[in-house]
Structure 1
Amino acid sequence: MSHASRAPDREHTFRSLYEAVYPDLLRFVQRRTGRNHAEDVAADAFLVVWRSLDE
């Protein structure tokens, strides 16, 4: 299976995970860091997820 043929599945998996988890993750991070940094921390977390999704 080539990387190109996996891309739509990978993107779908990521989007599904993001939609399911982001609101709770953002609230969790807001309680620990405050609103000013929460979106950046959540974005960093999802960057790690994106990079390691195939593992």
Structure 2
Amino acid sequence: RLSQAQDEWRALAMAVDRLCLWGALALTGGCALGTGLDAALHRPPDTPFP
């Protein structure tokens, strides 16, 4: 049986782990969305090579 202190540390570690997971997912999703929108909204100039 784990002690109360070990249970508290385990709960804290799980909370930090979940926070890092959501942060990484938000960063990855934001970058993917930004890259996709940049590519979709990009219009080349009329004379790209003057």
Which TM-score tier does this pair reach, normalised by the shorter chain?
Answer: 0.3 to 0.5
- Give the greater-gyration-radius structure (CA): 2
Q: Normalising by structure 2, report the TM-score.
A: 0.38
Q: Normalising by structure 1, report the TM-score.
A: 0.36
Structure with a larger share of its residues in helix: 1
